[in-house]
Structure 1
Amino acid sequence: MSPRLIDLSVPVVDGPSEATPVEVDLLDHAAAPAALGLRPEDFPEGESISNETVTLTTHTGTHMDAPLHYGLTSGGRPAAAIDEIPLEWCHAPGVRLDLRHVPPGAAITAADLEDALAKVSHELRPGDIVLLWTGADRLWGTDAYRSQHPGMTRESTAWLVERGVRVIGIDAWGFDRPFGSMIGDYRETGDNGFLWPAHLYGREHAYCQLEKLAHLDKLPDATGFTVVCFPVKLTGLGAGWTRVVAVVGDQ
């Protein structure tokens, strides 16, 4: 039986779930001949080949954040850009952890991860790709998607990375708690440790995070699949668009 492929990505599209716009300038088939300095009659049906110019951020749609996104250094060395991520990190056994009980705005703790892992009877191995299943992708296409999700902490991120995990994915707009939750706590306490603690942990130990995953509910089990998540090779940048796919039945 051939392996089954499950798409774990959201589409790149302008809409309320993205914080920044996606702009598309289309050169359609009918206008293309003139753009090439030719006539419509020079082509069959008067149509040449089309083209699109797209303006968007590297964090639009499903994407991978590289250590360079978190800071200029990681573990005392220059932080790796997205084109420098080892390919081996991006093709590895996957582990889905069910965290749907953690409410929006709340922190996903190390204890939450430990409990979720115990329920799937799996011992983490170096290189495993861990997928955090919050269920927040059900809000894709709405404004609520950007704010109604839980998020990781420094401690929970360290709990995974110190066990050899190098890529961690989440089916939510962001990896940390929502912007409003972090800013609210910071303004109330004056403690800047509330600001992107999971991201900033990457300045201590290199790891990558996948944001805006989807369809983790379609995985047949918590383990027994391979994750393929190669980012676009954008030289020297902190993130790259990524088509994330689970391969089921290849192990």
Structure 2
Amino acid sequence: MCPPGCLHAVCETATRRGLLKAGFAFASAAAGLGAIAPVQAHAQATAARHSFSRVQDLTHTLFEGFPTFSGEKWFTVEKPVTWEKDKVNLHRWTLMEHTGTHMDAPLHFSKDGMSVDMIPITDLIVPLAVIDIRERAAADPDASLTPDDVKAWESRNGPLPEGACVAMNSGWHKLLDSPKFTGRDADGRNHTPGFHAETADLLIRERNVKGLAVDTLSLDPGLASGEFPVHYQWLGSGRWGVEAMAGLDDLPETGALLVVAGPKVRGATGGPSRILALV
């Protein structure tokens, strides 16, 4: 989900910046068939090593009126075919890609990044690291997940797992039915937690992390509306994001495996997704 002005900002900015950065492994190697077998073998080995006792659904139910930063309705349902009339049920959905619990593909904030259908499926089943900033976010809705939060997590749990997704638990997933979920004030600005740009830079340059995830509507803090530094840095580097996650309180800081079941739509910049954690 983009804050207000997002689509306009993307159109104006994407043509001015070459944002798909070199150096991220799959961005340069995905087209090489020789790399496919090792990647698949690694993913299979990872899955074989991971045992789990439950599946945690991290997906909010999508409905008409699901909150957006601007207040616009980004998901509507029509019923052109009904049981009473046709003895069949069939719905027509109209939606923006970035609504509900959804993923952001690199293409969302880069000129020529990967669309959802281009992301290797092996990059969408990854270790999950949950970083809890609930206490700070409760006191300050403009709080952000900082490099210090990452380092504190690592002091307790060891280095971030290779190829992990780092998820921010701000407690916002519990506020879905509250105006605080969008944090929109009288001046039209949003107050919601997100990742600090310095954190995105740290994870790009010094860690092997494939995804970021938040329980808010944006990877960026709400007050970054119109600037989107984390979106541009993170997605522009060839990595993916997940927004509006649910159920993070029920997960351990480390040890879960994340499954990002995004829509396989040609050219999609993102889309509503079913997000699962194997715990």
The TM tier, using the shorter chain, reads 0.7 to 0.9
Q: How many residues align?
A: 214
1:57 aligned residue: 96
1:67 aligned residue: 106
Q: How far off is 1:234 after superposition?
A: 1.4
Q: How far off is 1:212 after superposition?
A: 0.2
Taking the aligned partners of 1:138 and 1:66, their CA distance within structure 2 comes to: 25
Q: How far off is 1:154 after superposition?
A: 2.2
Q: Secondary structure of the residue that 1:156 maps to in structure 2?
A: helix
1:213 aligned residue: 245
Taking the aligned partners of 2:84 and 2:235, their CA distance within structure 1 comes to: 50
User: Given the alignment of the two structures, is residue 151 of structure 1 paired with residue 194 of structure 2, yes or no?
Assistant: yes
Per-residue displacement from partner, 1:66-88 (whole Å, max 9, x unpaired)? 1110120xxxxx31111111111
2:273 aligned residue: 242
User: Given the alignment of the two structures, is residue 104 of structure 1 paired with residue 109 of structure 2, yes or no?
Assistant: no
Aligned equivalent of 2:217, options 173, 198, 205: 173
Q: Secondary structure of the residue that 1:217 maps to in structure 2?
A: helix
1:79 aligned residue: 113
User: Given the alignment of the two structures, is residue 6 of structure 1 paired with residue 56 of structure 2, yes or no?
Assistant: yes
Task: Name the aligned partner's letter for residue 216 of structure 1.
Answer: L
Contact residue 66 and residue 100 of structure 2 kept, 8 A: no
2:83 aligned residue: 29
Aligned-residue sequence identity (percent) comes to 27
Superposed CA RMSD in Å reads 1.9
2:31 aligned residue: none
1:118 aligned residue: 155
Q: Secondary structure of the residue that 2:78 maps to in structure 1?
A: strand
Taking the aligned partners of 2:165 and 2:224, their CA distance within structure 1 comes to: 26
Task: Name the aligned partner's letter for residue 169 of structure 1.
Answer: A
User: Given the alignment of the two structures, is residue 20 of structure 1 paired with residue 72 of structure 2, yes or no?
Assistant: yes
| CA radius of gyration, larger in | 1
Give the 3 Å change call, closer, same or farther, for CA 204–53 of structure 1 in structure 2. Answer: closer
User: Normalised by the size of structure 1, how large is the TM-score?
Assistant: 0.79
Q: Secondary structure of the residue that 1:93 maps to in structure 2?
A: strand
Q: How far off is 1:25 after superposition?
A: 0.6
1:137 aligned residue: 173
Give the 3 Å change call, closer, same or farther, for CA 204–28 of structure 1 in structure 2. Answer: closer
1:37 aligned residue: none
Unaligned runs of 5+ in 2: 1-50, 184-190
Q: Secondary structure of the residue that 2:107 maps to in structure 1?
A: helix
Contact residue 106 and residue 236 of structure 2 kept, 8 A: no
Q: How far off is 1:204 after superposition?
A: 4.7
2:48 aligned residue: none
Give the 3 Å change call, closer, same or farther, for CA 86–104 of structure 1 in structure 2. Answer: same
Q: How far off is 1:171 after superposition?
A: 0.9
* Higher relative helix content: 2
Task: Name the aligned partner's letter for residue 274 of structure 2.
Answer: R
Q: How far off is 1:122 after superposition?
A: 2.6
Taking the aligned partners of 2:85 and 2:248, their CA distance within structure 1 comes to: 41
